[in-house]
Structure 1
Amino acid sequence: MGQTIAWIRRFSWRDALVSALPVALLLAAAVWAALHFIDPAPRMNVVIATGSEDSAYLEFAKSYAKLLAEDGVTLDVQTTGGSMDNIKRLRDPEDSARVAFLQDGLSDTEESRASDSDVDLVSLGAVSYDPIWIFYRSKTVQTRLSALLGKRIGVGNKGTGTQVLALRLLKAHGIDESNSRLVYTDRAQARQQLQDGTLDAAFFIGAPESPLVRALVAYPGIRVMNLDQAEAIARQFPYLHPLVLPHGAMDLAGNVPVRDLHLLATTTTVVVTRNLHPAIVALLMKALQTTHANAALLNAPHTFPAAKDSDFPLSKDAEHFYQSGPPFLQRYLPFWLATLVDRAALAIIPLLAIMVPVFRAAPALYGWRIRRRIYRWYGELKYLEIQAQSQQPDASREDLQKQLDSIESKVTNAVIPLAFSEHAYVLKEHIDLVRRKFRS
């Protein structure tokens, strides 16, 4: 009796391991695929292309870098020649830059058009107004760009956003290289040439807080063009905004400027490559919100960042941020932990889809192996029964009896799980049935 109970309760570890092996291999492959292809870990070092060293872009980027460093992400700030240079860098798959500042209104330039590369760019939104300052030397006040006809005009370096916008505005007023002298030079040289009289006028793009702008506003003999056609010009160039800088806004004590200034401004947009990890995009959006939410001389509080005025489609992650704020996990967990949990969740969903049928298949595979062994003994038993029914000599019958005893011994000593004991008992009954046939 004790031997029978032990026989019933035995568990086939060998069958279990063999059955579990393909399941384990499949799950391991699924986990590896999930971690490597479904949602790879974000890079903790990101390069941002800014602009010249005296631009507001550089200060913006430094603020972002400080905020991202709090979450363990390094933002490598690199100065460039400006917006057109930034577009080229983002569109170059070999370049390390993944984030950059761009001016609106440059989408139809040759540099900004999609190249042969497969790099896609998306916007995180506008972050500030970029006024276009037109400084000129004159004893009389000028309010229209047409007054620059025939003058020596600094239009910025070739390939810069300043140059592109300056040439467009001048062309709209009938001014080009055939009737005026257009000088292509950088900001520092244009400032110097304007101050020493080598230039009659020059275009600059920058915030009112810019040291260069403040220096030229205060320089004797140099004026800022107060555009009385700003509204009309903005109608022709939709990416430009007519703005008013109130008198005294730059210096209350000195009343600088001395009168309200009507200016035109483009907007600065933060653009990223489409493959930038969503977790990094969320961190950048938080940095943009912290850096630009305050009021400035040309905008009210919470004007920026804003999902507007972009030459590029808005990032889906940025759109979600504008609608719902930071991702749920990043609101309550450290960045590294939120990223880990988020990746795990993304991996678990497809894994569950695989694991449910796999775990259902494992017991079936185990049961198939046990039944296969029993069916094999049935095959041997059937063979002996056929041999017994044929007219065999007595010696041959004795040999068949030994084979029958061998089958019974195998069944008795086999490791049969309790759930399959019924099959074993039925097989033993059939063995007895065949034995009785041998004796008859």
Structure 2
Amino acid sequence: MENVTRLGKGEADVAFVQSGIAAPENSVLSSLGSMYYEPLWVFVRAGSRTRTLNSLKGTVIAVGPQGSGTRVLSLQLLKENGVDESNTTLLPLSGSDAAAALLAGHADVVFLVAAATADTVRQLNGNDKVKLLNFDRAEAYTRRIATLSGLRLPEGSLDLLTNTPAQDMKLLAATATLMVKADLHPALQDQLMQAATFVHGGRSLFSVAGEFPTPLYAGMPLSKEAVRYYKSGPSFLQRYLPFWAATLVDRLKVMLLPFIALLFPLMKVMPPLYRWRVRSRIYRWYDELNRIDEALGDGFKQALLDELESIEADIRKVHVPLSYADELYNLRMHLTLIRKSAEKMKRINHE
């Protein structure tokens, strides 16, 4: 509960929260999914005949301190079985304090949400004075409470030497969900998802490789970035670029949008502009050729023929795309006709 409060107050941007703690209608927060199981361990005295939670009326139960995830889950399960403060004594104890109360006879039952490797869990599982409660109705709980999972603890999985537990056990588990402020930048959310996959994607006592992170069990709406990640994996930019570069490109996309909008009108103008630019290399010579042709009408001059030869040399240097080759060829033909006419006039003058 404390982490939910910190997120809500803006004291944190990211936090681990036990599934089922945050209210689904909380619009300030979003979930990135479940990261790993948080098993619930319910220990009773060794001689107890307790098999189900509905038989705990009139007992003393350590359910965790106020505001703890253990207390929220414990009270939820007890309520499902008709057990509450009106018919049971609830102690705000957790961890080693709860274990000490159970071993000293001050508590009849202890609820703990912790990893199998936690010191208190190992201590109680290895003590002959207490026993672990087997949740025979685990599937019923998971059908009624969407944020819970049913786990199987195989015989001897905690300690093969002492064969702890002595038989297969059924447990219930919440999950540790990764919660973020709803307005956290998508690039940071993507990085968190990649890190979570790297850290929590392996196998454990209760999960197989690749089982986590998962969009299941969170009990809170997933962020849009988390939904996209679970569907498609890391973003294209994050997959191939360093974080700083991917973030920079992502920001530039916003800046480029107005520029792209301007490109559309330009794309309509560019083809005619390109055609004009290519044809201008050809048609610019027609003015010169027409001028010389008109001058030859007044009589032959060697300077005009020399000028034609100079223009012909320049035209040979003109290169255009293949689609415009016929227009360049026509220009050369036009020049050739004028040059032949000038040469004919020259021969007549010499005769």
Give 1:340 deviation, angstroms: 1.5
- C-alpha contact 2:153 2:206 (8 A) present in aligned 1: yes
Distance 2:188 2:75 in 1: 37
Distance 2:118 2:169 in 1: 16
User: Which residue number corresponds to residue 145 of structure 1?
Assistant: 53
Distance 1:235 1:202 in 2: 24
User: Which residue number corresponds to residue 189 of structure 2?
Assistant: 281
Distance 2:84 2:225 in 1: 43
User: Which residue number corresponds to residue 229 of structure 1?
Assistant: 137
- C-alpha contact 2:94 2:112 (8 A) present in aligned 1: no
- C-alpha contact 2:147 2:219 (8 A) present in aligned 1: no
Distance 2:240 2:232 in 1: 15
Give 1:211 deviation, angstroms: 2.5
- C-alpha contact 1:142 1:226 (8 A) present in aligned 2: no
User: Which residue number corresponds to residue 111 of structure 2?
Assistant: 203
Give 1:107 deviation, angstroms: 4.4
Give 1:275 deviation, angstroms: 1.1
Pair 1:338–1:238, CA change in 2 (3 A):
closer
Select the residue among 117, 123, 130 that pairs with 1:215.
Answer: 123
User: Which residue number corresponds to residue 304 of structure 1?
Assistant: 212
Distance 1:243 1:293 in 2: 18
Distance 1:181 1:113 in 2: 32
Pair 1:356–1:237, CA change in 2 (3 A):
closer
User: Which residue number corresponds to residue 85 of structure 1?
Assistant: 2
- State the secondary structure of the residue aligned to 2:13: strand
Q: Deviations over 1:258-310 (max 9, x none)?
A: 11111111222111111111111111001110111111111221111011222
Distance 2:155 2:168 in 1: 5
Give 1:148 deviation, angstroms: 2.2
Select the residue among 12, 19, 35 that pairs with 1:104.
Answer: 19
Matches within 5 A, 1:252-401: 252-353=160-261
Give 1:346 deviation, angstroms: 2.5
Distance 1:220 1:180 in 2: 25
Matched, 1:130 2:47: no
The amino acid across from 1:258 in the alignment is: A
User: Which residue number corresponds to residue 400 of structure 1?
Assistant: none
Identity of aligned residues (%): 41
The amino acid across from 1:97 in the alignment is: A
- State the secondary structure of the residue aligned to 1:97: coil
Pair 1:331–1:305, CA change in 2 (3 A):
same
User: If the length of structure 2 is used for normalisation, what is the TM-score?
Assistant: 0.70
Q: Deviations over 1:83-135 (max 9, x none)?
A: x111111111xx33011112222345xxx764xxxx62111111112211111
Give 1:195 deviation, angstroms: 2.6
Give 1:139 deviation, angstroms: 1.6
User: Which residue number corresponds to residue 25 of structure 1?
Assistant: none
User: Which residue number corresponds to residue 304 of structure 2?
Assistant: none
User: Which residue number corresponds to residue 382 of structure 1?
Assistant: none
Give 1:354 deviation, angstroms: 5.8
Distance 1:122 1:299 in 2: 24
Distance 2:163 2:75 in 1: 32
- State the secondary structure of the residue aligned to 1:339: helix
Instruction: Out of 97-106 and 184-193, give the one that drifted further.
Output: 184-193
Max Rg structure: 2
User: If the length of structure 1 is used for normalisation, what is the TM-score?
Assistant: 0.57
- State the secondary structure of the residue aligned to 2:188: helix
May I ask how many residue pairs the two structures share in their alignment?
A: 267
- State the secondary structure of the residue aligned to 2:254: helix
The amino acid across from 1:333 in the alignment is: L
